[in-house]
Amino acid sequence: MSLISVVVPVYQNEGSLADLLPRLVAASQRSPQDSFEYLFVDDGSRDGSLDLLRSLAKEDARVKIIKLSRNFGSWAAILAGLFYARGEAAVTI
C-alpha cells in the first residue's frame, strides 16, 4: 500500500474548510489500494482557519497541520507542505 500526500495551502479559508475535508476523503476512497494523508498548511490566517483545522485533526488522524509564522504566500505554503509530506507521491490543491 502506498501513501499519497495531499497538500492544501490555507489562508483565510474558515468558511470552506469544513466542506473540503469530506470531499477530499470521498475522492480518495476511489483509490482503495492507497492510503492518504492531508497536509493543511496555514499560511498566517487571521480568521478561525487554524482552530477549525485543529478540530478536523482531532476527528481524523490523517489530517496534519503545518502553521507558518506569518503569511508567506501560497507557493511557500505548498513548498512547506511538500517538505513535510511523507507520501510516495504528493498532490496539491
Give the integer Cα–Cα distance in Å for 61 and 2.
17
- pLDDT value of residue 34: 73
Residue 31, pLDDT > 90, answer no
Give the integer Cα–Cα distance in Å for 14 and 40.
12
Judged by average pLDDT, the poorest of 2-6, 31-35, 43-47, 53-57 is 31-35
Residue 6, pLDDT > 80, answer yes
Asked if residue 5 lies in contact with residue 93, where contact means CB atoms within 8 angstroms, the answer is no
pTM here is 0.93
CB atoms within 10 A of CB 64: 18
